């Protein structure tokens, strides 16, 4: 286990942009981008993604607190246990999924069809710059247990 932890700083260096900054960049991009393919929905359409985002975020934090492990994506070496139940039984990244759902709600609120590009870019950027590095760190820490979890549960949904 100690040799695995010594590999983690290398994995940590792969992380380029913290998830909250990617999220804020998505919010700014949605607001500032030119309007193309405008649509108008009733404001109630934003409620389901926001509710689901809240459930996922709170469920994630609750499970991490119960497991007494870190919620920080920037310090994978401090992960003390693998959480695979609760909201983590449906998604390996429910916190990131909650950020995507908030962006989706904002996209629906603004009604700019071009915003779908921002949502797709958010998913690709977060997967490339954050999730893959976390997955490498978790695989190094938890080995076969994490590999089996990855086979059972999808990365996003």
- The alpha-helical segments, DSSP class H, found in 14-46 are 19-32
Name which of 131, 134, 113 is nearest 122 in CA terms. Answer: 131
Compute the Cα dihedral for 21, 57, 129, 139 and give only its sign. positive
pLDDT of residue 89: 97
Q: Between the CA of residue 80 and those of 45, 97, 109, 111, 123, what are the distances in Å?
A: 39, 22, 39, 42, 27
Copy the structure tokens of residue 110: 């603004």
Mean pLDDT by 10 residues, the chain (157 residues): 42 69 97 93 96 98 92 79 96 98 98 97 95 92 97 95
The answer to whether 49 and 104 have CB atoms below 8 angstroms apart is yes
Phi, psi values for residue 38, rounded to 5°: -60, 145
pLDDT of residue 153: 98
pLDDT of residue 11: 47
pLDDT of residue 9: 45
pLDDT of residue 73: 76
> What is the chain's alpha carbon radius of gyration, rounded to the nearest angstrom?
17
**Is the whole model's pTM more than 0.85, yes or no?**
yes
pLDDT of residue 107: 98
């Amino acid at each position: 286990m100690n040799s695995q932890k010594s590999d983690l700083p290398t994995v940590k260096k792969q992380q380029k942009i913290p998830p909250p900054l990617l999220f804020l960049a998505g919010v700014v991009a949605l607001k500032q981008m030119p309007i193309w393919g405008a649509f108008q929905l009733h404001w109630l359409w934003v409620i389901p993604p926001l509710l689901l985002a809240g459930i996922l975020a709170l469920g994630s934090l609750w499970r991490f607190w119960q497991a007494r492990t870190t919620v920080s994506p920037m310090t994978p070496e401090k992960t003390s246990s693998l959480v695979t139940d609760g909201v983590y039984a449906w998604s390996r990244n429910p916190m990131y999924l909650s950020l995507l759902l908030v962006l989706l709600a904002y996209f629906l609120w603004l009604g700019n069809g071009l915003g779908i590009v921002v949502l797709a870019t958010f998913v690709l950027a977060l997967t490339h710059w954050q999730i893959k590095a976390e997955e490498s760190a978790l695989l190094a820490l938890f080995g076969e247990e994490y590999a089996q979890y990855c086979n059972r549960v999808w990365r996003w949904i």
